[in-house]
Amino acid sequence: MLENGWTAKQETLSRKLNTIAKDFYECARPWIGALCKQ
């Protein structure tokens, strides 16, 4: 029971982190591209 609850929490957390990472990547991509082209 405890393990299941923890797994669900972990999944929610990793999903949130994924969303944040995606947003950050979309934001940062132009900058990264500009830096790489230099």
pTM above the 0.75 mark?
no
Distances in Å between the Cα of 10 and the Cα atoms of 1, 3, 21 are 14, 10, 16
Q: Write out the chain in H/E/C secondary structure.
A: CHHHHHHHHHHHHHHHHHHHHHHHHHHHHHHHHHHHHC
Segment 1-38, tens digit of pLDDT: 566 777 889 999 999 999 999 999 999 999 988 988 87
Q: For the range 15-20, what are the long-range contacts, defined as Cβ-Cβ under 8 Å and sequence gap of 24 or more?
A: none
Predicted local confidence at residue 14, as pLDDT: 95
